[in-house]
Amino acid sequence: MKATLLLAATLLASSAALAGTDVTSEALMNDTTEISERNIGKWTIRKTTVTTVDDEDEDGTTTTESVTTTESVSYDIDYRNGIHPHFPAFYIGLSDFNTLPLERQASDIPLSASKSWEWGMYMFQDGISFDRGGHVGLTFALGFGRAMYKFATPSYFFTDANQMTYFGAPETYDVTWFRYWTLKLPVALTLEKEIRGEDLFFNIGPELEYRFSSASKGKFNAADKKKEIICKDSNMAPLGVNLMAQVGYNCLSLYAKQSLTGLFRNPSLATPYSTELYPFTLGIAFTF
């Protein structure tokens, strides 16, 4: 600004010399700059005000001008008001039955390990941060899933008149499986840290699960496209509680879920099969 004023004064002086008239030019008398800053978390708001008064024209007339400029500048646009939920937008994993809720002890139900799957999605997600940086918080979501257990040998779950659940072998089916749908409501303690612009995260917590639409299904032979419902009434426990854990970076994570409650209300599975079954899933998850 001083350079501009100096150049203007020089030009005026030159013009006066050529005209043979004494003309004086005075620099701006009042040039004040006010800078105020306000820090909000990781944001910095800067307000700059410049006011100029008393400017003398070439003809000697003094005028008063007031110019005010206000500018707001923000830094660190990655500031977050809360923690990011990292529940899967889509997950898929291998499933199995455990005989104990918190111990990896596979049941002796003859499952085809590579063809027993669970997949699902968490559609509505939110969280509450415990710190201003959004590194620790409580997150929750609402989702759904579909579990399918394919038997290695033709088998199915069924109930008797007393609503006891049994496990047996159908006579006319070559391929059989058991499936059901779930609605999920997880609540997790979430830890996250930004590394190279992306989140490294870990969450763990309970998940309330509503199970419905269970059925034992089968086909008469593997090449047959027609699927038959063998039994729809397995007396499955409608409410379940899971322990869910997830660790990942950016949009990819490892997903694990262990049921803490039994799959059936009144199981009476024949020896040598396990009496209680606790579903277990291990897979990968994607967050978009």
Same domain, 237 and 173: yes
Domain assignment present for residue 18? The answer is yes
Q: How many CA atoms lie within 13 A of 236 on its CB side?
A: 24
pLDDT category at 260 given cuts 50, 70, 90 is very high
Express each pLDDT in 216-245 by its tens digit. 999 988 777 788 999 988 899 999 999 999
Would the pLDDT of 272 be above 50? Answer: yes
Q: How many CB atoms lie within 10 A of CB 13?
A: 14
- In the chain, the percentage of residues whose pLDDT exceeds 70 is 70
Same domain, 143 and 209: yes
Domain assignment present for residue 162? The answer is yes
Tell me, what CATH number does 199's domain have? 2.40.160
Containing structural domain, residue 66: 2-73
Give the integer Cα–Cα distance in Å for 146 and 212: 10
- Of the candidate ranges 50-54, 145-149, 201-205, 253-257, the one whose mean pLDDT is the lowest: 50-54
Largest interatomic CA distance in the chain: 122
Predicted TM-score (pTM) of the model is 0.69
Domain assignment present for residue 161? The answer is yes
For every residue of 120-150, DSSP letters joined together read: EEEEEEEEEESSTTS-EEEEEEEEEEEEEEE
Q: What is the mean pLDDT of residues 261-272?
A: 79
Q: Please give the helix or strand (H or E) that residue 18 lies within, else none.
A: helix 2-19
pLDDT category at 64 given cuts 50, 70, 90 is low
Domain assignment present for residue 201? The answer is yes
> Hunting for tokens 């941060």 — which residue is that?
129
**Number of domains comprising the chain:** 2
Cβ–Cβ < 8 Å for 48, 33: yes
